[in-house]
Chains A and B, each alone.
Chain A
Amino acid sequence: MTFPDPVQYAIPLFIIAMVIEMIAIRRGARGAYDWRDTGTSLAMGLGNTLAGAALGGAVVALAFQLWDWRLFTLPLTWWSLALCFVLDDLAYYWFHRSAHRVRWFWASHVIHHSSQHYNLSTALRQTWTGFFSLSFLFRCPLFLLGFHPGLVFFCGGLNLIYQFFIHTESVGRLPRWVEAVMNTPSHHRVHHGTNPAYLDRNYAGVFIVWDRMFGTFVAEDAAEPARYGIVRNLASFNPLWVAVHEWVGIARDLMAARSLRAAWMAMAGPPGWKTGETSDVIRARALVMPPAGQPAE
């Protein structure tokens, strides 16, 4: 049984959608592009495709090995497709949450957040080092449960395509029931925000219900427009530096570590642990010491 790679088929659609978004912005829709930023984002996307082609075989081999040890043999039918899509999205939530809270995973995921823009091209700013950071481990339970690896990767592709379309400022709020259940442009703008209230929130891929269930949901506040990017925004558009900067940071912190704990925290602690600028610290500091002109809560 072979499954198509839906992302490959969607690439022309991605390009058309970006062109439409740029035209819409020029005609007054909310949003912004910068050709240099977009070039970097798309170069990262291209590199991600190359990295997948080079290293994806090992992940597929691991998936089939785990599937050989499966607990159940699930049929390939409509309900297993639907169930797989939902469970893959749940696995994505935990991958994504870990990717923001554990520096080893963040070193790979930070690439996606390294743009100060939030548009459809930002969606394609993807890591080159996902294999190295072991992000594929989060999907392993699905293979062990008995979902065919091809089905899991197919659902993962659909998930990625869905997420592409929520990377836009040009769409405001969707109908209430959609905002209640689905991840939307509004919810995901929060996720890309560096505002203290928005940091490390809304990890969902497709279904925002995971954030509501696990206590990580924050609604977009019209009075608090998201400031996109990362806590220490990069000062370079160089794709290679974008790809490796956090790994370089980990290496430097490891070399400077004077204890086993410091070395461990440099890799497995939350991003910003060494400088005391974790998202929790920044949020707490903003509550007691808001920017000038705003009252403390």
Chain B
Amino acid sequence: MVFILSALGVLLVMGLARVMGFAADPVLDEAQARRRAADALAGFRPQACALAGDGRAALVQGDDGAIALVRPLGDRWVVRRLDGAAVSAGDGALLIRPAEPMFPPTRLALGAAAADWARRLGAGA
């Protein structure tokens, strides 16, 4: 009985949070993407940045050449250094699959910059 009431409580609070508008899907600008990468990765000094057209993901390159992916999780952001990620390019977009279980593939529409970033990531455009 306690379990059922608790489960109902979970649904109630989740639903209430949704109804009250705690459901943001924020977008990034380049400065925010750089800051997110620098905050998340110890010693990472961001330089170049490529922002996805919808502002929902970004690639940031550090001064050591390493490239970080910034992608959303709910109303927050997740950052990963892209070591060993599978990258495919086409139609002005990159599809990135970090070598990590349960990390969702991320599509970045980069337009003309896609080929350059694919090269930086070691993938053919």
A245 within 8 A of B: yes
Q: Check A34–B76 contact: CB distance below 8 A.
A: yes
Taking CB atoms, residues of chain A closer than 8 Å to B21 are 26
Question: Contact string, B1-35, partner A, CB cutoff 8 A, digits 1/0?
Answer: 01101110110111111101111100000000000
Measured CB to CB, the residues of B under 8 A from A are 2-3, 5-7, 9-10, 12-18, 20-24, 38-40, 42-43, 45-46, 71, 73-76, 78-80, 100-104
Q: Give Cα A38 to B16, complex, Å.
A: 10
Taking CB atoms, residues of chain B closer than 8 Å to A241 are 101-102
With contacts A8-B2, A277-B42, A285-B43 known, is A38 near B14, CB below 8 A? yes
| Shortest beta-carbon distance from B87 to chain A in Å | 17
Q: Check B6–A35 contact: CB distance below 8 A.
A: no
Which residue of A11, A46, A291 is within 8 Å of B39 (Cβ)? A291
Taking CB atoms, residues of chain B closer than 8 Å to A245 are 101-102
A131 within 8 A of B: no
| Shortest beta-carbon distance from A81 to chain B in Å | 25
Best-buried of B6, B24, B40, B80 by chain A (most CB within 10 Å) = B6
How many A-B residue contacts, CB cutoff 8 Å? 115
Taking CB atoms, residues of chain A closer than 8 Å to B3 are 46, 49-50
With contacts A11-B2, A43-B10, A46-B6 known, is A19 near B16, CB below 8 A? yes
Which residue of B7, B22, B43, B73 is within 8 Å of A32 (Cβ)? B22
Taking CB atoms, residues of chain A closer than 8 Å to B42 are 196, 231, 277, 281-282, 285-286
| Shortest beta-carbon distance from A45 to chain B in Å | 8
With contacts A11-B6, A33-B22, A285-B43 known, is A235 near B103, CB below 8 A? yes
Which residue of B12, B15, B74 is within 8 Å of A37 (Cβ)? B74
Interface residue tally on A, bucketed by range = 35 or more
Q: Give Cα A285 to B42, complex, Å.
A: 7
| Shortest beta-carbon distance from B42 to chain A in Å | 5
Which residue of A15, A34, A49, A281 is within 8 Å of B12 (Cβ)? A15
Which residue of A12, A35, A235, A289 is within 8 Å of B73 (Cβ)? A235
Interface residues of A, dominant DSSP: helix
Taking CB atoms, residues of chain B closer than 8 Å to A236 are 73, 102-104
A227 within 8 A of B: yes
Measured CB to CB, the residues of A under 8 A from B are 8, 11-12, 14-15, 18-19, 22-23, 26, 32-39, 42-43, 45-46, 49-50, 116-117, 121, 196, 227, 229, 231-238, 241, 245, 248, 277, 281-282, 285-286, 289, 291-292
Cβ-closest chain A residue relative to B103? A235
Q: Check A116–B102 contact: CB distance below 8 A.
A: no
Q: Check A33–B17 contact: CB distance below 8 A.
A: yes
Q: Check A46–B10 contact: CB distance below 8 A.
A: yes
| Shortest beta-carbon distance from B88 to chain A in Å | 19
With contacts A39-B14, A235-B102, A237-B74 known, is A34 near B24, CB below 8 A? yes
Q: Give Cα A209 to B28, complex, Å.
A: 41
Q: Check B43–A15 contact: CB distance below 8 A.
A: no
Taking CB atoms, residues of chain B closer than 8 Å to A22 are 16-17, 20, 22
Q: Check B76–A292 contact: CB distance below 8 A.
A: no
Q: Give Cα A117 to B74, complex, Å.
A: 11
Q: Check B43–A292 contact: CB distance below 8 A.
A: no
With contacts A22-B22, A235-B104 known, is A291 near B38, CB below 8 A? yes
Q: Give Cα A231 to B53, complex, Å.
A: 28
Q: Give Cα A260 to B88, complex, Å.
A: 39
Q: Give Cα A19 to B7, complex, Å.
A: 16
Cβ-closest chain B residue relative to A233? B78
With contacts A34-B24, A35-B23, A46-B10 known, is A234 near B16, CB below 8 A? no
Q: Check B10–A39 contact: CB distance below 8 A.
A: yes
Q: A42-B13, A45-B6, A238-B102 are in contact. List 15 more A-B contacts (CB 8 A).
A: A23-B20, A34-B17, A34-B74, A35-B23, A37-B74, A39-B10, A42-B10, A43-B10, A45-B10, A49-B2, A235-B102, A236-B73, A281-B42, A285-B43, A289-B43
